Structure 1
């Protein structure tokens, strides 16, 4: 594979993108920094097809990334291949408001091939290519210039290895008939809604023990305020206020701005400065959360009593057995909340009860809940047994 020198000018990038636009697939990776910012700072972009690979410097003065962005989000003829691409996709979404499409994630595909739920890139490369990756440049400062040859070689390897792995993985998926299993997962990854930073939803990432509507209403208002402050200042959320601080403010609201000087995690200056005033405005403007928005406690799932919890445990055991038997990651078949919903009597809207998931697991899960399926130890191995099979054996 031909590796181009680091691309720092618009003309070279445009020519590369024109060539890549004729490929069936390209592999994509990014290097970024976000330790001291809210928005990830894009520092390097790596792309490859089966013929050539290149690293692009987005920090190069005057470089126009538009041809590359068009290739990623507007060209539907080229498949974009990532590994654990969530953060890479987020960066593209931040730049364009769109996501790469169509896309393929090798970490998700590995789930369908029995390689676990979150196989790391180095382990993926080792298992498919027998190559051990030098991780020496993994924690480098990608924003510092100039980048040295070792850094660029390390970064380029992320897409050249992926370009070699993807065809092998695709062939394995075709042979096992599991390629169609991944369509829904890839479309979910490409959904732009996954990468929105909506201030009105920021409260969901903060844990508080209370389920009182007035406390949760304050939490939503304060989390919304923090999200807007962090985005506007391009600072990490924790640099504005830590989760435990805003949880404390929601449960024990200050009566006046001067009380902010006593809040753990806030500096005394908040008692008189403008950011403190904006925080107090958020607290004072909060309204109780609507009842339908209040989430249930984790240990009080709706409709899931003591017996339902036992049924959910049996479903989780069934999931382990089934995923072992077909050699697929359990998470690809069903999530824990789906199992709990099924145990509570829900049948509608569960992904595991549709399509290939129903054929591979959902049908058995329903049969277990409705008493048509049980467990048995056969030859020291736990297996599923159908009740009608046991009746035939007993009457034979």
Structure 2
């Protein structure tokens, strides 16, 4: 594979993208910094196909990134391959308002091949290629220039190894018949709604106790205010106000701006400055949360009860057994909230009751709940057994 020098000019980048536009797939990775900012600062983009690889410097003066971004989000003929690519996808979304598509994430694919739920990149490379990845440059400051040769070599390795692994992984998925298992997961990863930082939904990320509509309404207004402040100032949310302080303000709202001086976690200057005024305006505009927006109760789903909780625990045991037997990550088969919903009586609207998930697990899960499946120990190993066989 030909490795290009660091690309810093528009003509070289455009020529590279023109060639890669004819590839069946490309592998993509990014290096970024976001410790002190709201928006991740893109510092490097690595890209490869089976023939060539390059690192691109988005901080290079005058570099026209349009050919690269068009390749990622407009070209539907080229498959984009990433590993644990959520943050890479988010960066592309922030730049374009779109996500790379079609998309393939090798970390998700590894779940279908029995390599765990969140296998790291270095472990993936070691397991498939027997190569130990140099981790020395992992925590480098990618925004500093110039980048040295070791940094660039480390960064490009993330896409060159992936370009070798992906065809091998695809072949194993074909042989096992599990490729179709991943279609829904890959489309979900590429859904742009996953990467939109909607201020009106920011409250859902803040953990608070209690479900009073007026308190949650204040939390929603405060979280929206904080999100807008963080975006405008390009600062992490926690640098504006920490979550616990936001929860305290929602639960015990100050009556007037001067009271902000008494709130733990806020600067006393907020009692009289503009940002404190905007916080108070957010509180004053807050309305109780509607019944439709209220989160579900946290007591193991409405109507589950003690007996239902025991059934949910049996379903989780069944999930572990089936995941072990077919060598797949249990998270790919079903999630805990689905099991609890099934135990509470749900029989529709659950992914585990559709398609391949139903064939591999959902059918047995329903049979267990409805008394047609039991557990048995055979030769010291826990197995699923039809109830009539036990009888």
Q: Deviations over 1:333-391 (max 9, x none)?
A: 00000000000001111000000000000000000010000100000000000112233
- 1:203-352 to structure 2, matched below 5 A, reads 203-352=203-352
Q: What's 1:93 paired with? A: 93
- 1:140-179 to structure 2, matched below 5 A, reads 140-179=140-179
Report the secondary structure of 2:248's partner residue: helix
Q: Deviations over 1:243-276 (max 9, x none)?
A: 0000000001000000000101100000000000
Q: How high is the TM-score relative to the length of structure 1?
A: 0.98
- 1:46-61 to structure 2, matched below 5 A, reads 46-61=46-61
Q: What's 2:110 paired with? A: 110
How far apart in 1 are the matches of 2:299 and 2:341? Answer: 13
How far apart in 2 are the matches of 1:266 and 1:62? Answer: 41
Shift of 1:292: 2.4
Q: What's 1:377 paired with? A: 377
Shift of 1:287: 1.0
Aligned length: 391
- 1:2-41 to structure 2, matched below 5 A, reads 2-41=2-41
Gaps of 5+ in 1: 392-396
For the 8 Å contact 2:38–2:236, the answer to whether it is kept is: yes
How far apart in 2 are the matches of 1:289 and 1:342? Answer: 28
Q: How high is the TM-score relative to the length of structure 2?
A: 0.99
For the 8 Å contact 2:300–2:340, the answer to whether it is kept is: no
How far apart in 2 are the matches of 1:79 and 1:286? Answer: 45
Shift of 1:240: 0.5
Shift of 1:147: 0.5
How far apart in 2 are the matches of 1:65 and 1:285? Answer: 41
Q: Deviations over 1:99-153 (max 9, x none)?
A: 0000100000000000000000000000000000110100000000010001000
How far apart in 1 are the matches of 2:34 and 2:328? Answer: 34
How far apart in 2 are the matches of 1:103 and 1:305? Answer: 41
CA RMSD of aligned residues (A): 0.7
Q: Does 1:62 align with 2:90?
A: no
Q: What's 2:134 paired with? A: 134
Shift of 1:294: 1.2
How far apart in 2 are the matches of 1:293 and 1:388? Answer: 45
Gaps of 5+ in 2: none
Report the secondary structure of 2:182's partner residue: helix
- 1:355-366 to structure 2, matched below 5 A, reads 355-366=355-366
Which 4+ stretches in 1 moved above 3 angstroms? none
How far apart in 1 are the matches of 2:346 and 2:233? Answer: 44
How far apart in 2 are the matches of 1:371 and 1:120? Answer: 40
How far apart in 1 are the matches of 2:79 and 2:218? Answer: 44
Shift of 1:297: 3.1
How far apart in 2 are the matches of 1:50 and 1:94? Answer: 28
Q: What's 1:184 paired with? A: 184
Report the secondary structure of 1:45's partner residue: strand
For the 8 Å contact 2:27–2:163, the answer to whether it is kept is: yes
Moved more, 197-206 or 285-294: 285-294
Report the secondary structure of 1:50's partner residue: coil
How far apart in 1 are the matches of 2:292 and 2:69? Answer: 40
Shift of 1:163: 0.4
Shift of 1:6: 0.1
- 1:194-205 to structure 2, matched below 5 A, reads 194-205=194-205
Report the secondary structure of 1:292's partner residue: coil
Shift of 1:303: 1.4
Shift of 1:300: 4.5
Shift of 1:296: 2.6
Shift of 1:291: 1.9
How far apart in 1 are the matches of 2:16 and 2:349? Answer: 44
